[in-house]
Chain A
Amino acid sequence: MRERARIVTRWGMVIDLDRCTGCVACEVACKSENNIATVPPDQAAMGRAKSWMKVVAEVEGEFPDTSLHFYPRPCMQCDNPPCVKVCPVAATYINDEGTVAQIYARCIGCRYCANACPYTVKYFNWYGPEWADSERQHLNPDVSVRPKGVIEKCTFCHHRLQQAREDARAEGRVLREEDYQPACQEACPTAAIVFGDLENSTHRVRQLKDDPRSMRLMEDLGTAPKVYYLRPRE
């Protein structure tokens, strides 16, 4: 265990915008993986819909030379997260592996973090989750259901890491790249999403993040996101 502490791990993601077709498979996979409740239409109209992974469509250029690009937008898992700075109770913090955690049991629902986040990827539970009986049977037992009054967000499918780590331990081996994949990556039909350890030179994200096409959203803010995008080629 002490050995592990010495190895620096920083989980990160690279999304190739050239490969993304905007099919929203990642969005759907994320919702079902993480028990994300749907909200009624009138609430959604007030901007209270939850979608930890959201495919944002951007029209770029001047008419008639426009192009449409899709930006799948999870939590950016910033290295310098603004949300962590404002949390009065340390319910959201950045852990040793760079993952920005949200401890629901600790959260008091003040929503400071949701307002601090420049990427608007933190979602507040205005109501307790409501599911039809048929849906309830399909809840993922590995992910807790968030109660009313707490903030929730993308965790890089942290429960998959908990499980993968235990599997590796049980089999007496180290964690491999393919052991830990978030649901969005797994669902992506064009393999636009790549996930892994940014500090590990054998992981693909390590090479891709240094690609010339690589960029991060709102880099000028200094939030240092761990989600990289590969700019579309012209």
Chain B
Amino acid sequence: MSSRLALSRGFSTVLTWLSPRRRLVWLLGVAVLVVATATVLRAARQAPVSQPIAFNHLIHTRDLELGCEFCHKYVRSGAHSGLPDAENCSLCHRVQLGTSEEAAKLTKMINDGEPLQFNKLFRLADHVFYTHRRHVGIAKLECQNCHGAIADTEQPPTRPLVQITMNLCLDCHRKRELTVDCNACHR
């Protein structure tokens, strides 16, 4: 406590050395620096996500025309859409498909009975109430709205393609005259 007091005393002494105009410039400079560091720290806090298999959305969704629901089973009916497990892939990948190393690795994993667990990429703080059922099942929104071009990725992204922020939710809700009551989304 006392060291903090000393610090603020010191700070105000420094301020009195400067002319009022300079003071403003300095204060603004310090403010910008603080905000910039905070932003960088915030971005760095989210560790990159790695996946057990380098899955390729583009091949599976465009070339093979698999629906999102094939792998993300609960996207219409649940809060969370869910990620696929080995059983999903084993429908096709019990045998080697194509020539890629990753596909070979997957086939080996499946035949050895190794569990396959993908890691979650998009994540909301637990004080937010969000469900896919409401947005995909009922409102029939495109995944693009919130997940960007994930269906066109050829490598698993290590960071979310889109930062799902409160503004992203609010912008759409405002545009469509839906609820913007804090209590509707926070719990």
Residues of chain A having any CB pair with chain B under 8 Å:
1-2, 93, 95-96, 99, 101, 103-106, 142-145, 155, 158-159, 162, 166, 169-170
- Given known contacts A1-B177, A104-B127, A106-B182, A162 and B187 CB-to-CB distance under 8 angstroms: yes
B131 touches A166 (CB 8 A): yes
Instruction: List A contacts of B129 (CB < 8 A).
Output: 142, 159, 162
Q: Total contacts A to B, CB within 8 angstroms?
A: 48
A145 partner, pick from B126, B179, B183, beta carbons under 8 A? B126
How many chain B residues have a CB neighbour from A under 8 Å?
Answer: 19
Q: Which of B129, B133, B137 has the largest number of chain A CB atoms within 10 A?
A: B129
A170 touches B133 (CB 8 A): yes
Interface of A (DSSP majority class): loop
Binary A-proximity of B35-71 (CB < 8 A = 1, otherwise 0): 0000000000000000000000000000000000000
Can you identify 5 A-B contacts, CB atoms within 8 angstroms?
A: A95-B182, A96-B181, A106-B182, A144-B126, A170-B138
- Taken together as a complex, chains A and B put the C-alpha atoms of A159 and B179 apart, in Å, by 16
A169 touches B134 (CB 8 A): yes
B183 touches A169 (CB 8 A): no
Binary A-proximity of B162-173 (CB < 8 A = 1, otherwise 0): 000000000000
Instruction: List B contacts of A95 (CB < 8 A).
Output: 181-183
- Taken together as a complex, chains A and B put the C-alpha atoms of A93 and B177 apart, in Å, by 21
CB distance from A147 to the nearest CB of B (A): 9
Is B34 in contact with chain A by the CB < 8 A criterion?
A: no
- Taken together as a complex, chains A and B put the C-alpha atoms of A96 and B129 apart, in Å, by 18
Instruction: List B contacts of A170 (CB < 8 A).
Output: 133, 137-138
Instruction: List A contacts of B131 (CB < 8 A).
Output: 166
A144 touches B127 (CB 8 A): yes
Residues of chain B having any CB pair with chain A under 8 Å:
125-127, 129, 131, 133-134, 137-138, 176-179, 181-184, 186-187
CB distance from B118 to the nearest CB of A (A): 20
- Taken together as a complex, chains A and B put the C-alpha atoms of A159 and B127 apart, in Å, by 11
- Taken together as a complex, chains A and B put the C-alpha atoms of A145 and B127 apart, in Å, by 8
A105 touches B181 (CB 8 A): no
Measured CB to CB, the nearest residue on chain A to B139 is A169
A142 touches B187 (CB 8 A): yes
- Taken together as a complex, chains A and B put the C-alpha atoms of A1 and B176 apart, in Å, by 9
Other than the given A144-B125, A162-B187, A170-B137, 8 more pairs (CB < 8 A) read: A95-B181, A99-B183, A105-B125, A105-B127, A142-B129, A143-B187, A158-B187, A166-B131
B181 touches A103 (CB 8 A): no
B183 touches A103 (CB 8 A): yes
B187 partner, pick from A1, A99, A144, beta carbons under 8 A? A144
- Taken together as a complex, chains A and B put the C-alpha atoms of A106 and B184 apart, in Å, by 14
B134 touches A166 (CB 8 A): yes
B182 touches A101 (CB 8 A): yes
Instruction: List B contacts of A101 (CB < 8 A).
Output: 182-183, 186
Instruction: List A contacts of B126 (CB < 8 A).
Output: 144-145
- Given known contacts A1-B178, A95-B181, A105-B125, A166 and B187 CB-to-CB distance under 8 angstroms: no
CB distance from A33 to the nearest CB of B (A): 12
CB distance from A150 to the nearest CB of B (A): 10
B182 touches A166 (CB 8 A): no
- Taken together as a complex, chains A and B put the C-alpha atoms of A144 and B182 apart, in Å, by 15
- Taken together as a complex, chains A and B put the C-alpha atoms of A142 and B126 apart, in Å, by 9
Instruction: List A contacts of B181 (CB < 8 A).
Output: 95-96
- Taken together as a complex, chains A and B put the C-alpha atoms of A111 and B184 apart, in Å, by 24
